[in-house]
A and B are shown apart, each in its own frame.
Chain A
Amino acid sequence: MTLLEVKHISHWFGGLQALKDVSFQTQNEILGLIGPNGAGKTTLFNIISGFITPTKGEVIYGGQRIRIHHLRPYQTVRLGMARTFQIVKPFATLTVEENVLTGLGMPFYPTSKALVQRYKTASNMEKVEEILTTTHLIEYRNSPAAKLPIGLQRRLEIARALATGPKLLLLDEPAAGLVSQEATELSDLILNLFHQGIQIIVIEHNMRFAMNLCQRIVVLNQGEMIAQGTPSEVQNNEKVINAYLGQE
């Protein structure tokens, strides 16, 4: 099922064109988004998740085909889209547990529920426990997020995103800065989430990580989509090789 459709997205930052007419769709898959530095990957993520409104083009989401490119981030979360950040942004002063709790139905403005209802209910704590078990963070549940090493902070961001109950998960360089053992564990986690029925788009710099994990890959270079296909198709694509290694 097509959950997300990106149609003719172009975006300028002042005079700089960051994205040029990018279009693709997700199928039921783990989709990789790769490309050299400055290719526009994170900009595209920011557009999809509502942090940036694109200059041109549309983002269409879900079975109801909602045009979401004008929505704010907290509205896209409500539709079932969650994301992590390239530069990790856990809530540093909160514990691991509290970080995950923030995702469990926080009212997006101060409604009466927000003012009166406590967040540490038995049912919420049960959900937190389940999510922390899935993401192998349960032993750190009471640690302040700031004290976790970077690899665990990345996993915590995934856990927090999962708490929002996403149908589509956008992961921005989840394997950056991880040693290979950690990257393998992360790969397993992402696959596991996919098998639970969550569609995933992952930006990745680590080629081997992306090639092993993703069923299909979209390649961006200087804001343009230069290829898409299975990992092996993409790997042998001449444009991709040129983009990464430079032309002779």
Chain B
Amino acid sequence: MSSGYIVTILTFVAIYISLALSLNILTGYAGQISLGHAAFLGIGAYTSAVLAVHYGLPFWVDFLAAVVVTGMIGTILGLPSLRVRHDFLVLATMGVNFVVVSVFKYVDFFGGAMGLVNIPAPTILGLTFRGGAPYLTLTAIYALLTLAVCWYLSKTWSGLAFHAIRNDEDAAASVGVGSARYKIYAFGISAALAGGAGSLYAHFLGSVFPDNFVFVESIGMLSMVIFGGIGTLRGPIIGAIFLRLMPEMFRFIQDYRFTLYGALLVLMMLFQPMGLLGKDSWLWKFSTRVWPGYRTSKREEMP
């Protein structure tokens, strides 16, 4: 295995950590299950690609535009969540994913099925990040930034509001939380962070195709969140690392990647519904017992 290959894999891992963490805000914190997160990755990637290829704008402009545009579109696409709940919302987000991919595919401006190519490597302050370790650093910084946003969010009133809404919207209303705007906000911030990841994705590959953002990709992202431990910070990170690395380490299962994802999801749902490192998972309990200082002191068992 060449070191270039390993760096490429790790770059993808970093991008997917950002994606899984951003989806976790919406699904893990606010409880709005989405099977359309690849659409936000795609919107971010295409926004960046269009601005860079068609208009020749510098990286930092098209990166910020990807964050803002995807955030705005996410906010709008969050509106159905006000009318539909749970399983119907899942279907609605799936539909959004299909529509977005179709737009990329059938609108000439977006390059159609041939996609957009020749996206330049990003240049920041005169430094060009052309693949390799520098680009890995860039994506790692973004993953850390996403992590920081998620961490801070969970400490703020809006983080608490998300938890309240996920648990019970009526009870949330009874303590003065208007669920609607918080849900829209969750969609917005989740999409915006995914949009940033999309921009990095596009600049890394140098090209974008509609097929990069299809529905199965959304399933992959949701698998990462659920597999690792939904609603926690560590879960999506572990999920993204594990589910991205595993097929690479065992190349013979590469073709059966989604079979494996599916099987893992079924097993997790049956035996560890809170995920590998979720709050009540075997592994988490075991690790906190072996290393008690690691347990955040606040979540102890009942006296």
Q: A: which residues have CB within 8 A of B?
A: 49-51, 72-74, 77-78, 82-85, 89-95, 97-98, 101-103, 106-110, 113-120, 139-140, 142-144, 147-148, 160-161, 163-164
Inter-chain contact B178/A117, CB cutoff 8 Å:
no
**Smallest Cβ-Cβ distance to A160: which chain B residue:** B175
Report the minimal beta-carbon distance from A124 to chain B, rounded to whole angstroms: 10
**Smallest Cβ-Cβ distance to B153: which chain A residue:** A115
Inter-chain contact A89/B175, CB cutoff 8 Å:
no
Taking a contact as CB atoms closer than 8 A, the residue among B159, B171, B301, B302 that contacts A89 in the complex is B171
Closest 3 CB pairs of A and B: A109-B181, A89-B171, A73-B173
Contact with A along B279-295 (1 / 0, CB 8 A): 10000000000000000
Inter-chain contact A108/B177, CB cutoff 8 Å:
yes
Inter-chain contact B163/A93, CB cutoff 8 Å:
yes
Inter-chain contact B160/A101, CB cutoff 8 Å:
yes
Complex alpha-carbon distance, A65 and B246, angstroms: 65
Majority-rule SS of B interface residues: helix
Complex alpha-carbon distance, A163 and B166, angstroms: 20
Inter-chain contact A106/B157, CB cutoff 8 Å:
yes
Inter-chain contact A72/B178, CB cutoff 8 Å:
yes
Report the minimal beta-carbon distance from A67 to chain B, rounded to whole angstroms: 20
Complex alpha-carbon distance, A74 and B302, angstroms: 31
Inter-chain contact B178/A74, CB cutoff 8 Å:
yes
Complex alpha-carbon distance, A244 and B298, angstroms: 48
Contact A95-B160, Cβ < 8 Å, known A51-B170, A89-B171, A90-B171: no
Residues of B within 8 A of A97 (CB): 298
- 13 additional A-B pairs beyond A77-B174, A91-B171, beta carbons within 8 Å, are A89-B171, A89-B174, A93-B163, A93-B231, A95-B298, A106-B175, A108-B176, A110-B181, A118-B155, A119-B157, A120-B155, A161-B174, A164-B175
Residues of A within 8 A of B108 (CB): none
Inter-chain contact B175/A103, CB cutoff 8 Å:
yes
Taking a contact as CB atoms closer than 8 A, the residue among B155, B182, B301 that contacts A109 in the complex is B182
Using C-beta atoms within 8 Å of the partner chain, give the interface range for chain B.
Answer: 20 to 34
Inter-chain contact B173/A89, CB cutoff 8 Å:
no
Inter-chain contact B231/A142, CB cutoff 8 Å:
no
Inter-chain contact A102/B164, CB cutoff 8 Å:
yes
Inter-chain contact B177/A74, CB cutoff 8 Å:
yes
Residues of A within 8 A of B181 (CB): 109-110
Within 8 A of A (CB), among B36-68: none
Q: B: which residues have CB within 8 A of A?
A: 155-161, 163-164, 166-168, 170-178, 180-182, 185, 231, 279, 298-303
Complex alpha-carbon distance, A73 and B168, angstroms: 14
Inter-chain contact B164/A95, CB cutoff 8 Å:
no
Inter-chain contact B174/A82, CB cutoff 8 Å:
yes
Inter-chain contact A164/B176, CB cutoff 8 Å:
yes
Residues of B within 8 A of A93 (CB): 163, 166-167, 231, 279
Residues of A within 8 A of B172 (CB): 91, 102
**Smallest Cβ-Cβ distance to B186: which chain A residue:** A110
Inter-chain contact A110/B155, CB cutoff 8 Å:
no
Complex alpha-carbon distance, A102 and B162, angstroms: 11
Inter-chain contact B303/A139, CB cutoff 8 Å:
yes
Contact A89-B168, Cβ < 8 Å, known A102-B160, A106-B157: yes
Taking a contact as CB atoms closer than 8 A, the residue among B166, B175, B298, B300 that contacts A102 in the complex is B175
Residues of A within 8 A of B157 (CB): 106-107, 113-115, 117-119
Complex alpha-carbon distance, A95 and B279, angstroms: 12
28 A-B pairs in the complex with CB atoms less than 8 angstroms apart: A51-B170, A72-B173, A73-B170, A74-B176, A82-B175, A83-B174, A84-B174, A85-B170, A91-B171, A93-B167, A93-B231, A97-B298, A102-B164, A102-B172, A106-B176, A107-B161, A108-B176, A109-B178, A109-B181, A109-B182, A110-B158, A110-B161, A110-B182, A114-B156, A119-B159, A147-B302, A160-B175, A161-B175
Complex alpha-carbon distance, A89 and B172, angstroms: 9
Report the minimal beta-carbon distance from A52 to chain B, rounded to whole angstroms: 11
Contact A114-B158, Cβ < 8 Å, known A85-B171, A89-B171, A147-B302: yes
Complex alpha-carbon distance, A147 and B280, angstroms: 12
Complex alpha-carbon distance, A85 and B156, angstroms: 26
Inter-chain contact A95/B299, CB cutoff 8 Å:
yes
Inter-chain contact B301/A143, CB cutoff 8 Å:
yes
Residues of A within 8 A of B155 (CB): 118-120
**Smallest Cβ-Cβ distance to B173: which chain A residue:** A73
**Smallest Cβ-Cβ distance to A139: which chain B residue:** B303
Inter-chain contact A117/B156, CB cutoff 8 Å:
yes
Complex alpha-carbon distance, A101 and B177, angstroms: 12
Taking a contact as CB atoms closer than 8 A, the residue among A51, A139, A163 that contacts B175 in the complex is A163
Complex alpha-carbon distance, A102 and B177, angstroms: 9
A49, A78, A91, A118 — most chain B CB neighbours (10 Å):
A91
